[in-house]
Structure 1
């Protein structure tokens, strides 16, 4: 039963991700992206990662998708543009990837791995999902976490400097 649910979520994710790229209307594309985000959250729930599912909905479906919609509304795209008509190359590469996925699935017997928890044994029963993520994040992965926060800080400062550049220039 778990395999059927996994393949449902995976199929809908692949379908809606391809619709994000294929649809001409940017609003329909954003709605397809929203459906994809919710199905990724559903996939996290089936893996018993409820915290990641909640973060997926809050951050991606809530914040990132709203940002995309603001950009689409600000750009006010009204005309259809053809992008170099690369449909035949895309179809060929998609067929190659599908063939590879089927061959890989046949060699693995289409088995889906069972999720494992980060904390094992008796301690895993008393510690919740959020606590185990926090413990691993601030112990094992502390250095990459701090590097990512510094990169985000530099990006924020750079964005502020780029937007304020016109204001800070001296007037003649």
Structure 2
């Protein structure tokens, strides 16, 4: 019993990690799109649990609200709108990719092993300190905001520009398809 109490965080971490990996494998392996979407939902929720373990409650809440809520609803609407029953059989294509997938799997296993060795060879680090704002300790949300706009301003702006370009591209492609259907140039 003392083992479980002393290692509760590690046990919960491994359980959530196993659920996340199993859900990700389900997304890839399941042939029915709705079942694959539900596996993706399990992955999103497990990742949110991992964020809670890392004391990032705000990011966990955002993960649940935006990904598990909004993105999953969008995926399910698209699946239902397109009316896809099952995915076509692509066994020929998958057989040709088997050696590449095997090599990438071995590479991933080696990298995970190196990461596990590096993580266990030194003492665990303390959680990141909260940001001091105007003499008071800021909460998790405020710390994320300060780090995002102070330390990671350039990557944040690059991501926003990439998302803007993707949105404009989707609009242009949608208008082009609409014009082709209506017979306009």
What's the TM-score bracket when you normalise by the shorter of the two chains? 0.7 to 0.9
User: Displacement of 1:5 after TM fit?
Assistant: 1.5
Alignment partner, residue 21 of structure 1? 28
Moved more, 54-63 or 100-109: 100-109
* Counterpart Cα distance in 2 of 1:44 and 1:6: 10
The 1:103–1:11 alpha-carbon spacing in structure 2 relative to 1, beyond 3 Å, is same
Structure with greater contact order relative to length (CA < 8 Å, sep ≥ 6)? 1
Tell me, yes or no, if structure 1 residue 46 matches structure 2 residue 53: yes
Asked whether the equivalents of residues 26 and 39 of structure 2 are also in contact (C-alpha less than 8 Å), the reply is yes
Asked whether the equivalents of residues 51 and 130 of structure 1 are also in contact (C-alpha less than 8 Å), the reply is yes
The 1:161–1:10 alpha-carbon spacing in structure 2 relative to 1, beyond 3 Å, is same
* Counterpart Cα distance in 2 of 1:8 and 1:124: 39
Alignment partner, residue 62 of structure 2? 55
Asked whether the equivalents of residues 51 and 129 of structure 1 are also in contact (C-alpha less than 8 Å), the reply is yes
Which of 148, 153, 161 is 1:142 aligned to?
Answer: 153
TM-score, normalized by length of structure 2?
Answer: 0.75
Asked whether the equivalents of residues 12 and 36 of structure 1 are also in contact (C-alpha less than 8 Å), the reply is yes
RMSD: 3.2
Alignment partner, residue 3 of structure 2? none
TM-score, normalized by length of structure 1?
Answer: 0.80
Alignment partner, residue 154 of structure 1? 165
* Counterpart Cα distance in 2 of 1:112 and 1:88: 39
Report the count of equivalent residues.
172
Task: Map Cα deviations across residues 70-111 of structure 1 (whole Å, 9 max, x no partner).
Answer: 222222223552222438544675466446535653565488
* Counterpart Cα distance in 1 of 2:34 and 2:135: 44
Gaps of 5+ in 1: none
Aligned ranges for residues 65-144 of structure 1 at < 5 Å?
65-83=72-90, 84-86=93-95, 88-89=98-99, 90=101, 93-94=104-105, 97-98=108-109, 101-102=112-113, 105=116, 109=120, 113-114=124-125, 116-119=127-130, 126-144=137-155
User: Displacement of 1:157 after TM fit?
Assistant: 2.2
Alignment partner, residue 10 of structure 1? 17
